[in-house]
Structure 1
Amino acid sequence: MSKDVIPLYVDDVSTFTKTLRKSLTEQEKLPSHATMLTLVAKAAGFQNHQHLKAKKRASVPELDELALKRALRVFDDTGRMFRWPKWTKVQGLCLWPFWARLPAHQDMTEKLVNDVLKTGLNFDDHVLLRRSLIDHKLATRTNDGRVYRRIEQRPTPEALALMKRLKER
């Protein structure tokens, strides 16, 4: 017997209980544990208990709270970065708020990119950030460095959490 904890979120408790009650009244005797698991899963909208377990495994991975905590440390109360982080993973995470400030689907000059980066910095090294955006595959530039473009992609869960927490400051 499995001892895994499987969270169950029900959108509509009323429909859930009606479906479960109906399933229980159709039973001739008290259902077994396995049958009860199947009835609960079906009442929640799943095909069976195995379907419910599979959905649990496919759920959103947990956030890397340590990297998120380290990233938040380099931003001040106004959401501006005041120092560059030591760890490469945290550096990449800290670039996402700057990536979000860059205009999407638009060619930019180096001056425009610098202006966007400077608005989020409390130290004088926007060039480091600009190069890091390229290194971390968040932006591209032409060989001559005249045209920059944000690379459109879905931010990581940690990046989304970081941007949300910075916005709440």
Structure 2
Amino acid sequence: MSKTVLPFVVEDISAFARSLRRQLDGVETIPTHVEMLNLLVKAGGFRNFQHFRAQHESFKILETPKSPAPELNLKLVKRLTRFFDEDGQLIRWPKKFSERMICLWIMWSRIPAKESFSEKEISDLLDKEHLFGDYALLRRELVDRGMMVRNAEGSQYKRLEVKPPLEALELLRYLHR
């Protein structure tokens, strides 16, 4: 059976060591391999090893080279303009997945890059960008679709720098006119 290499990086080695030490204080026997994996990733800020693996696999999908660039679907872009008002705010959440994804890219583009936000800050920011009153839906979708990451507690959010599809870029150009 081949092993999948999963790189493990922590931002603060000291906090990692303290967290791991606290977890090991209550252990009476030597942890098994799986228990040790769970202890390590919990100290690194994940819920458990499966959560860590899922995060790694979602980033891997984003890094996978894509096939040759598809052509721009101008019909889709034109259809998507009806979801935005003259100020560029999202009026309603589209029913079709393909339309929702492009609209989500527009919301993503309005989040400042390389900044961390609390849950309230990102909710307030998203609330100003749409009119249908469900910033929690937008926040969840951005995380679930790999456009943002949040820490294990859900208290800090950060935009991931990923290249949007051509239709999203064209819609952005249209909305900025």
- TM-score, structure 2 normalization: 0.58
Runs (4 or more) in structure 1 with deviation over 4 Å come to none
Q: Distance in 2 between matches of 1:120 and 1:68?
A: 19
Residue 140 (structure 1) shift = 1.0
Counterpart of 1:82? 91
The residue matched to 1:71 in structure 2 has which SS?
A: helix
Q: Distance in 1 between matches of 2:80 and 2:146?
A: 18
Q: For residues 103-159 of structure 1, what are the alpha-carbon distances to aligned partners after superposition, in whole Å with 9 as ceiling and x for unaligned?
A: 211211111111111111112111111111112211111121101110101221111
Q: For residues 52-103 of structure 1, what are the alpha-carbon distances to aligned partners after superposition, in whole Å with 9 as ceiling and x for unaligned?
A: xxxxxxx964212233233211111111111000111111100112111112
Number of aligned pairs? 111
**In the alignment, is residue 70 of structure 1 matched against residue 79 of structure 2?**
yes
CA RMSD of aligned residues (A): 1.8
Counterpart of 2:122? 113
Amino acid at match of 1:157: L
Counterpart of 1:94? 103
5 Å-filtered alignment, 1:1-169, equals 61-168=70-177
Amino acid at match of 1:87: K
Q: Distance in 1 between matches of 2:76 and 2:142?
A: 18
Counterpart of 1:45? none
- TM-score, structure 1 normalization: 0.61
Amino acid at match of 2:102: L
Percent same amino acid among aligned pairs? 39
Which structure is larger by alpha-carbon Rg, 1 or 2? 1
Q: Distance in 2 between matches of 1:61 and 1:107?
A: 33
Q: Distance in 1 between matches of 2:87 and 2:75?
A: 21
Amino acid at match of 1:159: A
